[in-house]
Structure 1
Amino acid sequence: MKREIPAGRAVPADWLSNFDRYLISEGTHERAYEKLGAHLVRFDGSDGVVFAVWAPNARQVSVIGDFNDWDPTRHPMHSSDTGIWTLFIPALHEFTVYKYHLTTHNNDQLDKADPFGFAMEERPRTGSVVARLDGYPWQDGEWIAARQRHQALDRPISIYEVHLGSWRREADPQWGQRYLTYRELADTLIPYVKEMGYTHIELLPIAEHPFDGSWGYQVLGFYAPTSRFGTPEDFMFFIDQCHAAGLGVILDWVPAHFPKDGAGLNNFDGTQLYAHANPLQGEHQDWGTLIFNYSRNEVRSFLISNALFWIDKYHIDGLRVDAVASMLYLDYSREEGQWIPNEYGGRENLAAISFLRKVNEVVHGIFPGVLTIAEESTSWPMVSRPTYLGGLGFSLKWNMGWMHDTLSYMAKDPLFRRFHHNQMTFGMLYAFHENFVLPLSHDEVVHGKGSLLNKMSGDEWQKFANLRAYFGFMWGYSGKKLLFMGCEFGQWQEWNHDTGLEWQALTAPRHQGLQRLVRDLNLVYQHTAALHEVDFDWSGFRWIDANDSDNAVFSFVRYAKQADDFVVVVCNFTPVVRTDYRIGVPTAGPYRELINSDLHIYGGSGVANGTDLIAQPVASHTFAQSLSLTLPPLATLILQPCP
């Protein structure tokens, strides 16, 4: 027999105070999620749920769900002069499915998911779900206390980028294959990432999204972890287990746009409440999505609170902010006449700039040590510089230019690389303008671009050798590291979000060898101060020879904070063994190979320098001493003075 739910009651004034309403209207409420949305509470001796939603242009708003047969006349909400509607409904419990029914000023009837809903039904259903977020027994206090030290810019940061739905699939008798749950991923993904030597996992957006093919970048539920893999508590467990394993978690965050889905933010109360009414300002033509109106205070509160929400409630360690370039420029991907200039006649989105600075100030101010990372593809200055210096305030920025240039070089036949030598050296002209992450991300292995392995030139042996040498160059180069899943073992096919990775490739020795190299690079990187302590300053890098284009060889030194602590990196990007290749080095004495990407264990040809590698008093490359090396074909060497 169906339980009868009582009529709703007015929400006590102290739940959503005038001060709360004022801060939301001012755009400075940093934890609006504590007041808006659906919260399990006890009022006047009754357990139930308090609902609160901002819909200033609606004539009427009701709470609807199975509990009232989706009848909007049963539980009408109460409005305020700030446009926030509230209601307390006794006897409702956790996991109740609900929506808001809105009557617009045109008498249109809209059923909307809760913008602040903490959980949602699994697609294709779009109802919000009442969820309790304060019951999980977190065990990561030690990690959180040390987070600022773990994630300092002089620490190793090597990121494994993951799409949870396609990292691995489980056989299923009914569907053929199914997703792993958050808890199954805790048992499988976390040990794998730890074994591979990474320091961080970066998750493609896990906020609820109806369309699998958006990979999470078209968000419907900004405050709801996707139900595809389990409950909010299950996701908390996954994060907790990451921290127990010593892994930080970075979440892709999407404040640039939102989809036009009818149940979402689009036309929320009969108006473009969260976006601009003018399509010249409000629509991303490339993506068919809507742009947030960053000049509207309540929208700023919604987004700033959302950034803090994931850190506060889910203990996320960093936010990688998607599509920052699209936020900064009013004419992003638009032709003349398709955009509206700012008040000074320029193309800069002043409201978005102000918003990004505010987000970074608030995140870093409240949660010191949490990383904010910009995916920003232009030459906008000072993205990763403090706001008090005129910067945007991000901790780090993806180095898209480095990625495009170096991948272009690696795709060329070694015979012609001499004519494109500058593609590998150009990045050093701006390498220290920002705090850079070197990203080989999901965007480079989809939409016909081919897998990372298939981007390499040559036959199968050369493709593997090129990729091993390229990884060695990347891990030796200045900047933090990011690699998308599957690239670490050389998946042949480009990424497909509808299937698991090609784990069967690991039955082949060359794939095993590539995977082992990435693991060893990560471990060497973590334990070698010269490879991570000074990533963002010239004092941590010095070219030995940047100009040997004829041989396609690059050599440089990486220094730790103490200048006598260093490694030497030498990359040979031709399939030719070079003997008696002399390079200058900072100190005399014996050296050893920390990494040789041509070793048999990595699938290489086994050309090595042995143990009698001693710098001789022969001046070279402005150094008083030098090494005579044997350079393996299509390989990177990382050398270290012997203690």
Structure 2
Amino acid sequence: MNSVKTYTLFTDHDVYLFKEGKHYKLYDKFGAHSVEKDGVQGVYFSVWAPNAKKVSVIGNFNNWNHKDHILYPRWDGSGIWEGFIAELTWGTLYKYAIETAYGEILEKSDPYALSWEQNIQAASLVSTTWYEWSDKEWMNSRWEVNRLESPISVYEIHLGSWVREEDSPDKFLNYRDIAKKLVPYLKEMGFTHVEFMPVMEFPYDPSWGYQITGFYAATSRFGSPQDLMYLIDELHRNGIGVILDWVPSHFPGDANGLYKFDGSSLYEHEDPKKGFHPDWKSYIFNYGRNEVKSFLISNAMFWLERYHADGLRVDAVTSMLHLDYSRNEGEWEPNQYGGNVNLEAKAFLQEFNTAVYKEFGNNIITIAEESSDFPLLTKPVHNGGVGFGMKWMMGWMHDTLDYFKLDPIHRKGSHHKLTFASMYMYNENYMMPLSHDEVVHGKSSLIYKMPGDEWQKFANLRTLYVYMYTHPGAKLLFMGDEFGQTSEWNFKQSLDWHLLQYPVHKGLQTLIKDLNHMYRYEPAFYENQFNPKGFEWIEADDQDNSVYVYLRKGKRRDDVCMVVLNLTPRIVEYKIGINEGTHWEVVFNSDDERYSGGGVDPEILKEEHKEWMNRSKSITLKLPPLAGLILKQKRDKKYKLHRIKLHKK
């Protein structure tokens, strides 16, 4: 006898929206929900399996017997199976036993489960995302931090390897223990945001979280949903935004996951030319299927609503948008217009961005990891764009690292690798990423990408960071790069925090801290970071000296800074054109002893009232070797007070 009772959380309108691809809060309906029926507490289960012959709930409450608790198919042809099981409580382990059209019994974890077991069986848990938040003040004002006209400096972190238990280095810290260490660190370092590499449940540690099976479940490696919420709550209460990596591009073929969920290609595209990813040996969502669109957009909404995330960094967008991504001729088929754009994926991303920005406005950010020149990625959907808030500036990253890897004697021929970004830097809203991808798989750590002896390596990296922080666009730095991690990132162990006992590493960390504060408190560096009015070259073509000079400008006439980069290992007396009536003061020097630099004082040696560099007068500046300088335009007395405040932080 079936011990499952009829029950539903779906209205006819819910089902209609689901089938139309327009239901964006399916987590309120699907999954396991604690409810009361006829005065009895229990759990309501619902799952989408339209091609199944039979669906039952199996678990530790019925000895995993697929004959005891059979769900009811809805009458409306939606493919939804549902029912109520009395007297089940939080923590109950369960799966769905799905009998396919061919009579095979598949044991599948719940696609909407809020928690998963952390073992090879990976059963779902009846769980809850109830949490008493304390971040109301942040939530009411976060638009000020997340808007494009605000400084956005992101610290990218892998929760399993940022830091581990001191006495048990193989043991992960709980989300709450991470909060105790991470929150004060980010606050001291001056980062505005933290980006977590995927926190959704995944089975395989070497995937770093990018092969997700539990899209609605916070990984139990580090604790419960409430533990993760506590971490986010603490970050918010300390003024730090949270960006989550989100992976709507693919999923693994684990037996208990989404692959062949009801015996058919339900979530993945049936055609392997569109549904199988050759690089990652994973499966690609069918973006043309309405129910799948509802699943994915609801998932984005879930993390933004239930976990108070301030943004989503969308992984592998390039692979989503291009039918020929990582495929040879004959392994892909053009779209209806003969092109290589996946029109269904583009439409999905447009709908995703439209939906989340409609729901949350400018309180949140969506960021595309996209490495091609796909047009209008960060332009509004109503103007033909894809609707992202920002895009990773991959071209800037590659050109910058290619340049800085060169011995200074060879930089002359590659001078314009550092100027080329100015040709396109306002085409999109860019974030400059020095991410985890640049310090793994034999690429070496950032510090060991730099040429020369130890002094030159650190001097080069300090100058690269000055260039990054003074370049238009938001910033992203991967954990460990702020203090010069010497080994490649290893997800199996903690960062090498012991390196901070050495002055060169401590000095580099101090430089990042000061650059973060400079970026946050100098309007010249952020107010127009996505506006062409915010940048002007003074000298872009001096390849013989490997010197670059440019201005950054805020909205006020007085908010102007000059950046000078000397990318040779020699002290240079350098003449720079300035405008009549302007006076300058050096306010930042990457060669300062504070940063374990050489301590060369970048003096303004003389000022001449003769035209130079198409400007009416000039200054001659002493440039330290392999150094970046920031000069402030002195127009009033307020700045000196501001400068003192900056150095006290």
TM-score category of the 2 structures, normalised to the smaller one: over 0.9
Q: Secondary structure at the match of 1:554?
A: strand
Letter paired with 1:184: D
Which has the larger displacement, 599-608 or 342-351?
342-351
- Match among 153, 156, 159 for residue 158 of structure 1: 153
Residue matched to 1:448: 442
1:620 shift after superposition:
1.9
Give matches, 1:256-267, under 5 Å: 256-267=249-260
C-alpha distance in 2 between matches for 1:555 and 1:267 = 57
Q: CA deviation at 1:587?
A: 5.4
Matched, 1:23 2:17: yes
Q: Partner residue of 1:82?
A: 78
- Note if 1:641 corresponds to 2:633: yes
1:399 corresponds to 2:393: yes
Partner of 2:42: 48
1:622 match:
614
Correspondence list, 1:82-231, <5 A:
82-134=78-130, 136-172=131-167, 176-231=169-224
2-side partners of 1:172 and 1:257: how far apart?
A: 37
Contact 2:606/2:621 (<8 A) preserved: no
1:466 corresponds to: 460
The match for 2:273 is 280
Q: In the TM superposition, what is the alpha-carbon distance from 1:40 to its structure 2 partner? A: 1.0
Matched, 1:487 2:481: yes
Unpaired runs of at least 5, structure 2: 637-649
Partner of 1:487, secondary structure, is coil
Structure 1 residues 585 and 277, CA gap change in structure 2 (3 angstroms): same
Q: What is the letter of the counterpart of residue 260 of structure 2? A: N
Within 5 A, what are the aligned runs for 1:52-63?
52-63=46-57
- The Cα of 1:538 is off from its aligned counterpart by 1.6
Match of 1:504 among 488, 498, 503: 498
The equivalent residue for 2:246 is 253
User: C-alpha displacement at 1:594, in angstroms?
Assistant: 2.3
One-letter amino acid of the counterpart of residue 338, structure 2: G
Contact kept, 8 Å, 1:475 with 1:521, in 2: the verdict is yes
SS at match of 1:164: coil
Distance 2:87 2:577 in 1: 77
**Post-superposition CA distance 1:477-510 (Å, at most 9, x none):** 1111000000000011110000110111111000
1:445 positional shift: 0.3
CA distance in 2, matches of 1:623, 1:571: 19
Pairs within 5 Å for 1:479-628: 479-579=473-573, 581-586=574-579, 588=581, 590-610=583-603, 616-628=608-620
Q: After superposition, where does 1:263-342 map in structure 2 within 5 Å?
A: 263-342=256-335
What residue is the counterpart of 2:642 in the other structure?
none
Q: Provide structure 1 residue ranges, at least 5 long, that are not aligned to the other structure.
A: none
Inter-CA distance 269–453: structure 2 relative to 1 (3 Å threshold): same
Distance 1:217 1:615, change over 3 A: farther
- Report the CA distance shift for 1:21/1:613 in structure 2 as closer, same or farther (over 3 A): farther
| 1:114-154 Cα deviation digits (max 9, x unpaired) | 001111111333111111112x1111111111121221111
- Give the SS at the match of 1:571: strand
What is the DSSP-based 3-state SS (H/G/I as helix, E as strand, rest coil) of the residue aligned with 2:280?
coil
Q: What secondary structure, in the 3-state scheme, does the structure 2 residue paired with 1:409 have? A: helix
RMSD (CA atoms): 1.3
Map 1:304-453 to 2 at 5 A.
304-369=297-362, 370-453=364-447
Matched residue, 1:7:
3
Give the partner amino acid of 1:379: D
Secondary structure at the residue paired with 1:68?
A: coil
Letter in 1 for 2:146: Q
Structure 1 runs, 4 residues or longer, greater than 3 Å off: 586-590, 612-616
After superposition, the C-alpha distances for 1:170-211 in whole angstroms (9 at most, x for unaligned) are: 1345xx531111001110011101110100000001100000
CA distance change for structure 1 residues 589 and 351 in 2, over 3 Å: closer, same or farther?
closer
User: Partners in 2 of 1:262 and 1:627 — Cα distance?
Assistant: 69
Contact kept, 8 Å, 1:585 with 1:615, in 2: the verdict is: no
Give the 3-state SS of the residue equivalent to 1:41 in structure 2. strand
Any conservation in 1 of the 2:558–2:633 contact (CA below 8 Å)?
no
Residue deviations 1:244-279, cap 9 Å, x none?
A: 010000000000000011110001000110011221
Q: How many angstroms apart in 2 are the aligned matches of 1:584 and 1:93?
A: 74
Q: Write the letter of the residue equivalent to 1:294.
A: Y
AA at the equivalent of 1:213: P
| Aligned equivalent of 2:647 | none
Q: How many pairs align?
A: 632
Q: How big is the shift at 1:628?
A: 1.3
Aligned to 2:451: 457
Which deviates more from structure 2 when the two are superposed, residues 530-539 or residues 392-401? 530-539
Q: Is the contact made by 2:2 and 2:69 (CA closer than 8 Å) also made in structure 1?
A: no
Secondary structure of residue in 1 paired with 2:117:
coil
Which residue identity lines up with residue 413 of structure 2 in the other structure? F
Q: What is the distance in 1 between the residues matched to 2:561 and 2:517?
A: 15
- What's the CA shift for 1:7? 2.1
Q: CA deviation at 1:585?
A: 2.7
Q: Secondary structure at the match of 1:20?
A: helix
Once residues 240 and 73 of structure 1 are traced to their aligned partners in structure 2, the CA distance between those partners, rounded to angstroms, is 43
Using the size of structure 2 for normalisation, the TM-score is 0.96
Q: Which amino acid aligns with 2:133?
A: W
Instruction: Give the % identical residues.
Output: 50
Deviates more, 1:123-132 or 1:629-638: 123-132
d(CA) in 2 for partners of 1:290, 1:456: 38
Quick one: structure 1 residues 391 and 577, their matched pair in 2 at CA, closer, same or farther if it must change by over 3 Å? same
CA distance in 2, matches of 1:184, 1:115: 28
Q: Which amino acid letter does the alignment assign opposite residue 296 of structure 2?
A: L
Structure 1 residues 266 and 151: alpha-carbon distance in aligned structure 2, compared to 1, 3 A threshold:
same
2-structure distance, mates of 1:261, 1:517: 45
Q: Say if 1:182 and 1:615 are closer, same or farther in 2 by CA, change over 3 A.
A: farther
| Residue matched to 1:632 | 624
> What CA distance in whole angstroms lies between the structure 2 residues aligned with 1:426 and 1:104?
56
Q: Distance in 2 between matches of 1:177 and 1:614?
A: 59
CA distance in 2, matches of 1:247, 1:102: 44
Cα-to-partner distance string for 1:40-70 (whole Å, 9 max, x where unaligned): 1122211111111000000000001000100
Residue type of the alignment partner of 2:610: V
Cα distance in 2 for residues equivalent to 1:549 and 1:634: 15
Asked if structure 2 preserves the Cα contact closer than 8 Å seen for 1:577 and 1:630, the reply is yes
Q: For residues 571 and 94 of structure 1, what CA distance do their matches in structure 2 show?
A: 59
CA contact (8 A) 2:589 2:602 kept: no
- The whole-number CA distance in structure 2 between the counterparts of 1:363 and 1:452 is 35
The separation in 2 between residues aligned to 1:149 and 1:586, in whole angstroms, is 34
Kept in 1, the 8 Å contact 2:432–2:468? The answer is yes
Residue 6 of structure 1: how far off its partner (Å): 9.5
- Summarize deviations over 1:574-593 as a string: whole Å, max 9, x none: 101002x1112345454322
Q: Please give the alpha-carbon distance, in whole angstroms, between the structure 1 residues aligned to 2:426 and 2:144.
A: 22
